[in-house]
Homo-oligomer: A and B are copies of this chain.
Amino acid sequence: METDKTRSDCPVSRTLDVFGDKWSLLIIRDLMFGNKCTYNDFLKSDEGIATNILASRLKGLEENGIIEKSPHPDSKAKIMYKLTTKGIDLLPIIMEIYIWSEKYFPMSAELKAIIKEAKKDKEKFAKQIAKGLKKA
């Protein structure tokens, strides 16, 4: 998952080099829907990512312009990671993963309800979430 592994010029292959990896996708998901934004947030999150892997994925995502660092409002010791526009544009992909996920795995009624809502008008839902992510 480091940069520039493919010599393939296939755009999809290049795209998957950027974020087509479980941990990268989970980080992106956490940023979009998990209310998580610091290194420790990601580290402590359910999935159990190892600290060095987290660091390497954050680096990769930043190098590829998907996320960026910014000062955390609470403290100078903290760093806030946030999605760039390029990263926010991944929303529809993550949404479709959730939709597939709901069809094939058990899920809380709460989450099911949100997904049901999202499916009703995907674009509207995406825009709403994107707005929230941009203003932050």
Contacts and interface: CB of A to CB of B under 8 A. Distances in A.
Interface of A: 6-17, 20-22, 25-26, 29, 46-48, 86, 89-90, 92-93, 95-107, 111
A97 B12 contact: yes
A107 B93 CA distance: 19
Nearest to A48: B8
A contacts with B: majority SS: helix
Contacts of A7: 48
9 contacts: A8-B46, A11-B105, A11-B111, A12-B29, A12-B101, A20-B22, A20-B25, A89-B103, A93-B93
Contacts of A106: 9, 11
Given A21-B20, A22-B20, A103-B89, A15 B97 contact: yes
A16 B25 contact: yes
Contacts of A93: 93, 96-97, 100
A12 B29 CA distance: 9
Nearest to A20: B22
A10 B96 CA distance: 16
A100 B96 contact: no
A100 B105 contact: no
